[in-house]
Structures are given as C-alpha cells and as structure tokens.
Structure 1
Amino acid sequence: MKTTNNTVFISGGSAGIGLEIAKSFSEKGNKVIINGRNQERLDKALEQLENAVAIQGDLSIENERIRIANELIQNHPDLNIVINNAGEAYYYNLANNTNSYELAKKEINTNYLTIIHFTELLLPHLLQKDSAVVNVTSIASLVSYAPVPTYAASKAALRSYTQSLRNALKETSVKIFEVLPPLVNTSFSTEIGGENGIPPKEVADELLIALEQNQFDVPVGQTKVVLGVFQEALAKLSQN
C-alpha cells in the first residue's frame, strides 16, 4: 500500500505512539487528522506536524464517535487510512482489587467495542477506495501481563476481531493491519516501567514499512519473538 498522498485519521494522536505515527505520515506528505480528548494537547501536537488538523472528541462515547465519523466523511472525503490507536489501561492486581469489573468495562469499551463501532461507521466509505484500517493491539494480546490483566484481555479481544475483519474483507479494497507493540516509553506506560520500553518512533517506523510491503501483522521489538513462537507452534499443530 502506498504511504504517500493519503488522508490518515489517527485516534490518540496527540501523544505517544499516535503522535509518532502522525509525524511519520506528515513527513511523507500525507494529510493527517489527529484525534484526542484534550484540545490543548491536540494544539501542541499540531505545532509539530505539517498538513495536519485535529478533531477533538472522546471516541469511547457513542454520540461522540458518531459525530467524529460523520465529520470525517463530510469534511475529509479522501480519508483512506484509519488508525485505531487510542486506548485505556488500568494497573492493578486481580487478587486484591474490588473494582475490576468497573475497570474492565471501561477498557473493553475503549479498546474493543469502540473500535468495532467506529470501523462499522466508516467502512461503507472506506470500501469505495483503496484503504486500510490499522488496529493497535499489544504484546499483551499474546501473553497476558499481570499488572494490566483486563487491559490484556481487551487487547486479545481486539486482536481476534482484527483477524476476523481481515478475513471478511480479504476480497475488498480495504486492507486490515494489526500493530503489536511491546512496552513503549510513553506516558501511557509510566506506571509499568515505560522508561524501559522502546521509543514510540520505532513503532511508527515499523508500521510504515509494513504498509509499504502489505505485511498485515506488524510485531514490533520483543513482540517479534513472541509472535514467532506462536506462529511456529501453530504451524506444527497444522502438520499433525
């Protein structure tokens, strides 16, 4: 898939992985649309980007994502790449937490259900052109990580949905990519030692390469090793 002259929407695009992806697309001459909840953070992000605009709003709220989807279709008809990057995570121990149900509801809504609905809203538009949907999951979608137990579960659900969507759309013009970062050094991961993670630019660079090569699974850093083990095990099972 071409990585220039696209119109790209990036949720969670005001910081971290989302902002680095926005910078990479901006530097290659694409039109970039970033989304986030905080207008001040969006404005600061726009100062670092060329040919970019922002749409403020909370995609985890149904009427907000409907508004954002309609705005994209009406005001940015050339939209052809949607990157579902925004996420929500809570750090706790299942053994002594009395609020896991409520926290899991928020994570499942933001990290899974929101993406299903937002994709559904935009899919009729995307099916009319060469386009792509990129879902950002996590190494935690492959191997559960105790400090973020229900976050990991929500990302596993998103990974499964992404694979099903890719299979359903394989005969259409819409390509479905999945980015699987490991621990990344962003404010999002501060509570679990994010300073020990890879730089977010590494995720953005890997995504651009994968898009150019139509490599639909995009493991980054340590995830390459983990995913490789999974794929090798599946290959052996299929031979038995």
Structure 2
Amino acid sequence: MKTTGNIIFISGGSAGIGLAIAKIFSAAGNKVIINGRNQQRLQSALLELDNADAIQGDLSVESERIRIAKELAKSYPALNIVVNNAGAAYMNNLSDPTNNAAEKAFEEINTNYISVIHFTSLVLPQLLEQNDSAIANVTSIAAFRGNQYLPTYSASKAALHSYTQGLRDTYQHNEKLAVYEIYPPLVNTEFSAEIGGANGIPPAEVAEEFFLALEKNQVEVPVGETKKIHALVEEVGQKLLAQA
C-alpha cells in the first residue's frame, strides 16, 4: 500500500504510540487526523505535526463514536486508513475482593474491544468507497498470554486479536481493503508507566515497523520481542494446518 498521500485517522493520537504513528505518517506526506479525549493534549500534539487536524472525543462512548464517524464522512470523504489505537489498561489483582476487578475489566473490554468493533463498522462503508484502504488494530504482546498483573487487559487484547483475524478473513477477497494488526511489546509511554513502561521500547519503533509493513503490504506487524512469540505461533499454526 502507498505510504504517502493517504488520509489517516488515529485514535489515541495525542500521545504515545498514536502520536508516534501520526508523526511518521505526517512527515511522509499524509494527512493525519488525531483523536483523543483531552482537547489541550490534542492541540499540543498538533504543534508537533504537519498537515494534521484533531477531532476531540471519547471513542469508548457510543454517541461519541457515531459523532466522530459522521464528522469523518463529512469533512474527510477520502479517508482511507483508520488506526484503532486508543486503549485502557489497569493493574488488576484478581485475589483482592476489594479491587473492583469486574469494573476494570468492563472498561478494558469496552474500550479495547467493543468500541473498536462498533467504530470500525461505522467507518467501513467510507473506507470501502476508496480504491486503497486499510484498518490497523493495535493489540499487544499480551494478546498471546495473560499474566497476574494485567489479566483482564490481556483478555481484551486477545479478543481484539481474534476479531482482527476474523475481519481480515471476511474481506480477504476485497482488494480495496487490508486489515493490519500491530503487536507492540512493552512500550515506554505514559500509558504504560504503571507497569514499568520505562523499561520498554520507544513508541517510534512501533510506528516505524507499521510504516514499513504498510509499504510491504505485510498485514501482521509484530514489534520487538513480540516477533519471537509471533513466529512461534505462526510455526505451530502452520503445522496444525498441515496435519488437518
């Protein structure tokens, strides 16, 4: 897919991975529309970008998803790439009865999974009008295995991973649409600070891998340490298919 001349919407685009993706695509000659909940942070992010706009709104809220999709259709009819990057994550101690584990899980599932499905369904008709379009879902290395610190976040990303595969299969014969999945490992962002993000890779590395993958039409985009796990999963999958 071309890496210049696109119109790209990026949720969670005011910081972290989303902003890094916005920077690399903005610099390459694409029109970038960043989304986030905080208007001030969006305006600060726009100062770091060329040829960029912002749409404020909370995609975890149904009415906001509908409003944003309508604004994209009206103001950016040639939109051809959507990056679903916004997310929620909580340390969730399942052994603590006062932890409100289900409430945290509900927000993670709503933001990381249900909201993505609904928003994607809203923008798909617009994307399918273009000659060359893409949806890119940002999942995580955590999609492959949960852990005691982020068990419900991992589950939400595993759900998004499965949905992404199903969406790709659904449109596998449509040459106008490609479905990408980006699998970051631990990334050094404000979002991951609570779980030791300072030890993670820079968000620019995730953005660079996605940019190269788009250029090569490589729909699976494992990054950093995720490449090892992804390769093993692919190897096992191929063996199972051969035995079927």
Do they superpose with TM above 0.5?
yes
> Could you say which residue in structure 2 is the equivalent of 1:235?
238
TM-score (normalised: structure 2): 0.97
* Alignment partners' CA distance in 1, 2:25 and 2:172: 25
* Alignment partners' CA distance in 2, 1:114 and 1:35: 14
Q: Percent identity?
A: 61
* Alignment partners' CA distance in 1, 2:142 and 2:200: 14
* Alignment partners' CA distance in 1, 2:240 and 2:133: 34
Query: Which letter maps to 1:234?
Result: G
Within 5 Å, which residues of 2 pair with 1:112-131? Answer: 112-129=113-130, 130-131=132-133
Q: Is 2:199 the partner of 1:192? A: no
> Could you say which residue in structure 2 is the equivalent of 1:156?
158
> Could you say which residue in structure 2 is the equivalent of 1:177?
180
* Alignment partners' CA distance in 2, 1:149 and 1:100: 10
The unaligned stretches of length 5 or more in structure 1 are none
What's the offset of the Cα at 1:97?
Answer: 4.4
Say which of 215, 222, 231 aligns to 2:225. 222
How many aligned positions are there?
A: 240
Q: Is 2:60 the partner of 1:57? A: no
The unaligned stretches of length 5 or more in structure 2 are none
> Could you say which residue in structure 2 is the equivalent of 1:108?
109
TM-score (normalised: structure 1): 0.98
Query: Which letter maps to 2:108?
Result: E
Name the SS for the 1:132 alignment partner: strand
Within 5 Å, which residues of 2 pair with 1:2-17? Answer: 2-17=2-17
Name the SS for the 1:79 alignment partner: coil
RMSD between aligned residues: 0.8
What's the offset of the Cα at 1:151?
Answer: 0.5
Query: Which letter maps to 2:218?
Result: Q
Name the SS for the 2:209 alignment partner: helix
> Residues 223, 5 of structure 1: CA spacing in aligned structure 2 closer, same or farther, 3 A cutoff?
same
